[in-house]
């Protein structure tokens, strides 16, 4: 919120300096973001007059001017190339040493084509004040030479920019800021008196209200016989000083009241209104072109103002171009209304329109101000544009905003931490506009002013299911009671000064601080280190992706679709991080870096739950080795990544089994699932489905894995002891079993491992063969079994017995026979 010091003085009678004002604003919660002294850079520029202008003897397009710029700069010779430089013209003069912001140069005295030049005559563009480029600036004839141009043009005003918290809609008005400063003891708030303008004829335009929930109250009146055109200089300067472009007198007046009183207004050209009624209603899929020249489609959830030809304004946000006022406008209809803040916010977000009106309506405007604001705007329009006003027409009525709040004096110190005397607390609330009612020694009851929508007001949701669903996102609860006493205490402390509240240390739960990382966080960090050590690079992606991409990697339920995505292709909560990783790998491949290994640890979303995954992809080939090139990535690399994460997090390899029922986005024959028991899926791994890779533009296999970190059980805490190392040599024996093709290899390994648990230290696969040397429908599974004796070296007989047990166990579990 920007305002100038002179603008503030119209509402606040104070002699405080800019420094005092800024310090007070910071102290009462209106944080100052910037203070701009607009005239400081222009102080060296002086008003001057060209006493004589002669043709340059050595240049056709230059003139030699004698300039009077006041004491110290009389009869200065300046060479000027402007076509409008002439005798008697009042101009802007820059003495030597002056920095010219529009040209980014510093003026120096010197010679131009042989003639001395002791300064520069400037245009407004060169001062950084406009787009004028047809010559030097021409000042009024009665301009007195030697004045600072900043003072002459009224550019010595200070501009203050403050940050506004969402609950302080009343501070989005210069008057609201002045009220707070007055309450803080920095002056006296001037009274605001709106002169009533009596209507002289019935308004030819009336209101009709079809959606009262969205618009509780709307007023308006016609002003006929106006003459619209450029605004007077004071109005243009006021708006331009805070960054608004002057458009025309009628539009500038509405913008002025939006900032001055926090009261958005809008004017319609009566000649462009079709029919005699403006209707506040729901949109119906129409396209409306707004004042910024953009087209928008309005829906039934958008409040609009329509005439007989269609939608003419997006209510409370921006007017339509069809009924825009222009230089030829003679009759205008002034709109002043109250709109539902939530609907304004939702419509503005959906349509992507940001305006000063929306910014104020969605934060809450003064609910009792419309009548006075309409009268004040009418008076200014008549004073500046002429014409006469009609009677006021309206629909609806002023909402019942009146409410009270009770303050117990002891609670200011008990809850707020600062002992403020009861009388001072009452005075502060009174200066802020709270009317004091019933009072006793312990408490006071006050009436809340109409402009403080954030004080003691319950928020109740609309019964409409769509609006209710959207509002729940904003408010979290269907009904939220705001504790009024806490709000009053906050106001007292804010005006008294939060810097005066003594600091109090938080109570210590124990003398020894707790652990910084939870076990879950520790496991995430360990998984991250393991994957990084395996050569994968970590990425961080969005938790939402395109709906179509989500459908390719599992379910994409409508319940997880975003109503207001930050981009059209980011509208679905992701079921797995793999789509983002595959897209990142594809972007690298497109730039000539096809061999990549990426991983991400993040959330994945299902219709009923959310889980944390460690997911990764490898694409391209393995690193090149001496004597040969790299090999294409296989699903075994992804299995190794997933298995390493699981083992590092305490999962026993004996507890794992591998099945072939990986999700459909994996290759059906080159993928698998790591399970703990028959039901708990800990990881998926394998090549991605060829159809996915083709759509993504890959011409080589891409392997991936997903480890479900939330499903990994916490390892049992055991007393750490040194490992038992046997002094005896282990014995290794190889077995080749012939089994049916559909027999899982894991079943063979598990059976062999359980044949002699006290003796068998490890069982590993080293070959799977399918070919013409075996019967049809059979395969050979070759495993290595490590026998580790502990008490004594194994005899040949003991080795034979152990080997027989392995063969018997595998045969019993899988029907295998020993390959001869």
- Whether the CB-CB separation of 599 and 616 falls below 8 Å is answered with yes
| Whole-angstrom distance, CA of residue 543 vs CA of residue 540 | 9
- Whether the CB-CB separation of 585 and 596 falls below 8 Å is answered with yes
| Whole-angstrom distance, CA of residue 195 vs CA of residue 191 | 12
- Whether the CB-CB separation of 307 and 278 falls below 8 Å is answered with yes
| Whole-angstrom distance, CA of residue 386 vs CA of residue 384 | 6
180 a known binding residue?
A: no
Buried b (16+ CB within 10 A) or exposed e, 314-353: bbbbbbbbbbbbeeebbbbbbbbbbbbbbbbbbbbebbeb
Structure tokens at 74: 């009389």
Q: Which of 660, 662, 665, 661 is nearest to 691 (CA)?
A: 665
To 10 degrees, the CA torsion angle through 334, 336, 337, 338? 160
| Whole-angstrom distance, CA of residue 763 vs CA of residue 752 | 7
Which long-range CB contacts under 8 A does 438-442 form with residues at least 24 apart?
442/408, 442/409, 442/410
| Whole-angstrom distance, CA of residue 40 vs CA of residue 44 | 9
454 a known binding residue?
A: yes
Structure tokens at 760: 């068998």
Pairing of strands 537-538, 817-818: unpaired
User: Residue 639, class by beta-carbon neighbours within 10 Å (0-12 exposed, 13-18 middle, 19+ buried)?
Assistant: buried
Inter-axis angle of helices 174-183 and 18-27, nearest 10: 80
Query: What three-state secondary structure class fits 249?
Result: helix
Beta strands in 56-109 (DSSP E): 63-68, 76-80, 90-94, 99-100, 105-106
Taking CA atoms, 75 is separated from 51, 72, 96, 139, 242, in Å, by 8, 9, 15, 19, 38
Query: What three-state secondary structure class fits 265?
Result: coil
- DSSP one-letter code for 130: -
Q: Which of 636, 684, 675 is nearest to 656 (CA)?
A: 675
| Whole-angstrom distance, CA of residue 601 vs CA of residue 592 | 26
DSSP bridge pairs for 614: 601, 707
| Whole-angstrom distance, CA of residue 241 vs CA of residue 36 | 10
- Whether the CB-CB separation of 329 and 250 falls below 8 Å is answered with yes
- Whether the CB-CB separation of 689 and 667 falls below 8 Å is answered with yes
307 a known binding residue?
A: no
| Whole-angstrom distance, CA of residue 452 vs CA of residue 690 | 62
| Whole-angstrom distance, CA of residue 795 vs CA of residue 731 | 11
CB atoms within 10 A of CB 462: 15
Beta strands in 42-125 (DSSP E): 46-55, 63-68, 76-80, 90-94, 99-100, 105-106, 110-112, 115-117, 120-121
* Phi and psi at residue 740, to the nearest 5°: -65, 150
115 a known binding residue?
A: no
Residues in the annotated binding site? 454, 487, 490-491
Residues in the annotated binding site for Mg(2+)? 454, 487, 490-491
């Amino acid at each position: 919120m920007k305002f100038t010091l002179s603008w503030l003085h119209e509402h606040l009678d104070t002699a405080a300096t800019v420094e005092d004002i800024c310090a007070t604003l910071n102290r009462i919660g209106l944080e100052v973001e910037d203070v701009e002294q607009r005239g400081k850079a222009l102080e060296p520029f002086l008003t001057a007059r060209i006493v004589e202008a002669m043709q340059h003897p050595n240049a056709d397009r230059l003139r030699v001017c004698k300039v009077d710029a006041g004491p110290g700069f009389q009869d200065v010779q300046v060479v000027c190339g402007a076509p409008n430089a002439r005798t008697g013209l009042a101009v802007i003069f820059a003495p030597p040493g002056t920095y010219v912001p529009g040209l980014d140069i510093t003026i120096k005295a010197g010679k131009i084509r042989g003639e001395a030049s002791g300064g520069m005559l400037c245009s407004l563009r060169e001062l950084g004040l406009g787009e004028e480029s047809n010559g030097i600036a021409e000042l009024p004839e009665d301009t007195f030479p030697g004045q600072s141009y900043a003072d002459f043009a009224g550019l010595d005003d200070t501009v203050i920019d403050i940050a506004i918290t969402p609950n302080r809609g009343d501070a989005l008005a210069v008057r609201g800021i002045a009220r707070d400063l007055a309450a803080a003891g920095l002056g006296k708030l001037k009274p605001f008196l709106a002169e009533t303008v009596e209507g002289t004829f019935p308004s030819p335009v009336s209101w009709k209200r079809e959606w009262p929930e969205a618009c509780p109250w709307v007023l308006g009146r016609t002003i006929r016989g106006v003459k619209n055109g450029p605004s007077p200089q004071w109005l243009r300067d006021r708006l331009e000083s805070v960054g608004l472009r002057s458009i025309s007198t009628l539009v500038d007046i509405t913008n002025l009241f939006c900032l001055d009183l926090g009261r958005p207004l809008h004017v319609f050209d009566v000649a462009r209104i079709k029919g005699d009624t403006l209707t506040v209603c729901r949109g119906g899929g129409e396209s409306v072109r707004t004042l910024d020249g953009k087209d928008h489609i309005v829906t039934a959830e958008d409040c609009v103002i329509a005439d007989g030809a269609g939608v003419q304004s997006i209510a409370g946000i921006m007017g339509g171009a069809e009924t825009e006022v222009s230089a030829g406008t003679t009759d205008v209809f002034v709109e002043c209304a109250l709109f539902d803040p939530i609907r304004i916010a939702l419509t503005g977000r959906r349509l992507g329109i940001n305006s000063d009106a929306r910014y104020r309506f969605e934060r809450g405007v003064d609910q009792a101000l419309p009548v006075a604001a309409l009268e004040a705007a009418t008076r200014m329009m008549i004073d500046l544009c002429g014409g006469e006003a009609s009677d006021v027409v309206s629909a609806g009525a002023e909402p019942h905003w009146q409410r009270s709040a009770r303050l117990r004096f002891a609670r200011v110190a008990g809850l707020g931490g600062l002992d403020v005397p009861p009388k001072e607390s009452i005075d502060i609330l009174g200066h802020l506009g709270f009317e004091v009612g019933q009072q006793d020694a312990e408490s006071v009851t006050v009436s809340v002013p109409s402009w403080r929508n954030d004080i003691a007001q319950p928020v109740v949701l609309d019964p409409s299911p769509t609006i209710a669903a959207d509002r729940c996102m904003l408010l979290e609860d269907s009904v939220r009671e705001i504790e009024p006493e806490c709000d009053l205490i906050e106001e007292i402390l804010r005006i008294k000064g939060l810097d005066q509240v003594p600091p109090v240390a938080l109570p210590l739960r124990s003398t020894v601080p707790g652990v910084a990382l939870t076990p879950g966080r520790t496991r995430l960090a360990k998984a991250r280190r393991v994957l990084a050590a395996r050569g994968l690079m970590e990425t961080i992606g969005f938790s939402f992706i395109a709906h179509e991409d989500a459908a390719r990697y599992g379910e994409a339920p409508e319940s997880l679709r975003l109503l207001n995505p930050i981009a059209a292709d980011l509208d679905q909560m992701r079921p797995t991080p793999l789509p983002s990783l595959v897209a990142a790998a594809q972007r690298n491949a497109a730039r000539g870096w096809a061999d990549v290994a990426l991983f991400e640890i993040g959330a994945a979303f299902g219709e009923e739950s959310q889980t944390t995954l460690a997911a990764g992809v490898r694409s391209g080939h393995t690193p090149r080795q001496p004597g040969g090139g790299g090999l294409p990535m296989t699903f075994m690399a992804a299995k190794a990544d997933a298995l390493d994460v699981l083992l590092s997090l305490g999962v026993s390899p004996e507890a794992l089994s591998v099945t072939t029922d990986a999700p459909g986005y994996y290759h059906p024959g080159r993928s698998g699932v790591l399970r703990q028991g028959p039901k708990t899926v800990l990881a998926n791994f394998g090549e991605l489905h060829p159809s996915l890779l083709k759509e993504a533009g890959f011409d080589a296999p891409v392997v991936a894995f997903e480890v479900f970190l939330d499903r990994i059980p916490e390892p049992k805490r055991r007393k750490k002891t040194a490992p038992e190392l046997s002094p005896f040599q282990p014995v290794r024996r190889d077995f080749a079993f012939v089994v049916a093709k559909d027999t899982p290899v894991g079943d063979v390994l598990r059976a062999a491992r359980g044949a002699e648990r006290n003796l068998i230290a490890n069982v590993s696969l080293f070959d799977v063969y399918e070919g013409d040397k075996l019967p049809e429908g059979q395969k050979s599974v070759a495993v290595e079994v490590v026998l580790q004796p502990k008490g004594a070296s194994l005899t040949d007989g003991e080795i034979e017995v152990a080997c027989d047990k392995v063969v018997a166990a595998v045969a019993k579990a899988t029907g295998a026979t020993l390959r001869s």
